[in-house]
Amino acid sequence: MDFNEVDILYVEDNPNDVELTLRALKKRNLANRLYHAEDGAVALDFLFARGNFAGRDVTAVPKLILLDIKLPKVDGLEVLRAIKADERTRNVPVVMLTSSAEDRDVVESYRLGANSYIVKPVDFENFSQAVSDVGFYWAVLNKPMR
């Protein structure tokens, strides 16, 4: 996989959620240029071309970052803060995709500059619908800044 050709960066630690999400995105042909990071540290390495991703073009940013909040090592809000603090990644749309419906998470996410906040529905049909809609909107419909 060419790390410079990634449209969607998907940060999620729960393998079941990953499988369900990928299934939903595949149905809309959105999973081809997707990279899945299993924790916040990997996500930051990917975005800023560090560690295993040294040599990646930092300016080749994805069209969309799907970000969970509760993550091992570096949590989602930290990742969001780093993304929005860096000139190169600031304009990449970030959609929080999380189980938490807590007000403080919602408020903090928007305060840090998240573009959207989605609570993962428990119901699978709703969940599939939400994930594929979000992927389609941001990765296909939305015109990013280049």
Partner 1 sequence: MVALVGLVTLTGWFAGVRGLAAWGEFSPVTTPAGAALFVAWGSAMILHVLMPDDDFGAYMAAFVAVFAAGFGIYALSGFAFGRPIEAAYFFGRFPLDVDRSLAPLVSTSWLLAGLATLAAIRWPGSRFGLAANALAGLLNLANLIVVLGYLYGTPVLYGSGDRAVPLPSAVGFLLASVAVMLMLGPGYYPQKFLVGQSARARLLRIFLPMIAVVIALDGLLAHFAPRQSGLHVSTAVSVLVFVGSSIFIVYLATRVSGDSIDRAEQELQAAERKVAATSAMFESLFNSIPDTVVVVDQRGTIVRVNRATEATFGYDRDELIGKPIEQLIPDRYRTRHYGHRAGYAARPRVRAMGAGLNLFAQRKDGSEFPVDIMLGPLDTALGPLVLSVVHDMSAAKSAQVEIESLAGELERRVGELESVNKELESFSYSVSHDLRAPLRAVDGFSRILAEDYDDKLDAEGRRVIGVIQENTRRMGQLIDDLLAFSRLGRQGIASAPIDMGELVQGVVDELTQGMDLGRLEIRVGDLPVVPGDRAMIRQVFVNLIANALKFSGTRPKSIIEIGCEPREREYVFFVRDNGVGFDMQYANKLFGVFQRLHRQQDFEGTGVGLAIVQRVVHRHGGKVWAEAALDQGAVFSFSLPASTKEMV
Report the nearest approach of partner 1 to the CB of residue 75 (Å): 11
Backbone angles phi, psi at 95, to 5 degrees: -110, 120
Q: Site residues for partner 1, window 7-66 (CB under 8 A)?
A: 14, 16-17, 20, 23
Pick 27 or 90: Cβ nearer partner 1: 27
Q: Site residues for partner 1, window 71-130 (CB under 8 A)?
A: 98-103, 120-125, 127
List Cα–Cα distances, 30 to 51, 62, 64, 135, 137, in angstroms.
27, 13, 11, 7, 11
**Size of interface with partner 1, in residues (CB under 8 A):** 20
Other Cβ atoms less than 10 A from the Cβ of 64: the count is 27
Report the nearest approach of partner 1 to the CB of residue 124 (Å): 4
**With contact defined as beta carbons under 8 Å apart, do 77 and 108 qualify?**
yes
Q: 24 is written with which tokens? A: 């939903």
Q: DSSP letter at 72?
A: S
C-alpha gyration radius of the chain:
14
Report the nearest approach of partner 1 to the CB of residue 48 (Å): 27
Q: Does 133 bind partner 1 (CB under 8 A)?
A: no
Residues that bind partner 1 (CB under 8 A): 14, 16-17, 20, 23, 69-70, 98-103, 120-125, 127
